[in-house]
A and B are shown apart, each in its own frame.
Chain A
Amino acid sequence: MMPALSVQSIQIVFAGIVLLFGIGLVGLMVTRNLIKIVILLQLMAKAAILGMALAGDIAGKPGLGQSLAVTVIVVDTVVAVIALALAVQVQKTWGTLDLNELSTLRR
């Protein structure tokens, strides 16, 4: 077992989480490809996993934090798998993965 975290380490990891989340958010606003969106969602999910584990450590309940991290992993994986299956079907039906062309709400 590694030694317990120091305050600076916590802050570094937290900064990393925030940065990763922000990068994923920027990407979500900018990208137009469905599969790319799933990739970015996975990126934000990694940040969430780290965040859960870190929160558990900060609150003094590492077991709870880690079990929630496991939950996030499972949920995000299932979401990614289903989203990819949907993306594949969309590509087969409409021939495009571009968000703009797929958007059916008219202005």
Chain B
Amino acid sequence: MWLYLALVAGMVLCGIQAVRAQRLIVAVLWLAGVSVLVAVILYAMNAPLVSAIELSVGAGLVTVIFVFAIGLAGELTRDLPSLIPRPLAWIVSIVAVGWIGWLLWPAAPAPTDAETVTLQTVLWESRAVDMWVQIALILAGVLGILNLVVDAPAGKEAATLERIATPDDEVAA
């Protein structure tokens, strides 16, 4: 139980830092931190496969793509005031999410159902349609990306962690 407490506390802290970060790259790093901790929690919850997928995809792939995109699009240049007053946002969020959370507060877990125990059997047999849809989704996503990004500027290959300057803007306004 203490393990969970520590992991969850760490996760929430990383989340808060991700929201508060001024620079996008820093926010992405905190997001990666959240990913890692989620993966560990998933492992602790007897979901090793999901944990592996989350680690590689969430903490790996998504972070790399974010860095890519931020390199292409550039960082925030100034701190913009929010359109909604912050206190209002906090209150609405706390009330809405908190209330639902309180309504859904979990009690004791039900006994494990024998057929649906292993992820592999469920994934490939009962939820086969899910898998096909996901494959189609991934293909669609890849095609969409190619379509959108295919004429990216030449500086793409040189994007690294240190280069956080705005690229040449071809403002076609």
Task: For residue A54, give the distance in angstroms from its CB to the closest CB of chain B.
Answer: 7
Given A35-B70, A57-B45, A61-B113, CB of A66 within 8 Å of CB of B141: no
In-complex Cβ contact of B98 among A20, A22, A70, A88 (8 A): A22
Given A43-B15, A67-B119, CB of A53 within 8 Å of CB of B50: yes
- Asked if A95 and B34 make an inter-chain contact with CB atoms under 8 angstroms apart, the answer reads no
B residues in contact with A40, CB < 8 Å: 18-19
A residues in contact with B19, CB < 8 Å: 23-24, 26-27, 31, 40, 43
1/0 per residue, CB under 8 A from A, across B44-70: the answer is 111101100110011001100110111
Quick one: closest B residue to A31, CB to CB?
B82
Binding site for A on B (CB under 8 A): 1, 4-5, 8-9, 11-12, 15-16, 18-19, 24, 27-28, 31, 34-35, 38, 41-47, 49-50, 53-54, 57-58, 61-62, 65-66, 68-70, 72-74, 76, 80, 82-84, 86, 89-90, 92-94, 96-98, 100-101, 104-113, 115-119, 121-123, 126-127, 130, 134, 137-138, 140-141, 144-145, 148-149, 152, 169-173
Q: A22-B98, A77-B141 are in contact. List 18 more A-B contacts (CB 8 A).
A: A12-B1, A12-B4, A18-B97, A35-B24, A43-B15, A54-B45, A57-B45, A58-B106, A63-B115, A63-B122, A66-B49, A71-B130, A78-B140, A81-B62, A82-B141, A84-B65, A88-B72, A94-B173
Top 4 A-B residue pairs of the complex, sorted by shortest distance between their CB atoms: A16-B8, A63-B122, A60-B110, A18-B101
- Asked if B42 and A100 make an inter-chain contact with CB atoms under 8 angstroms apart, the answer reads no
- Asked if A57 and B93 make an inter-chain contact with CB atoms under 8 angstroms apart, the answer reads no
Task: For residue A91, give the distance in angstroms from its CB to the closest CB of chain B.
Answer: 4
Quick one: closest A residue to B170, CB to CB?
A92
In-complex Cβ contact of B45 among A5, A42, A60 (8 A): A5
- Asked if A81 and B119 make an inter-chain contact with CB atoms under 8 angstroms apart, the answer reads no
In-complex Cβ contact of A50 among B41, B69, B170 (8 A): B41
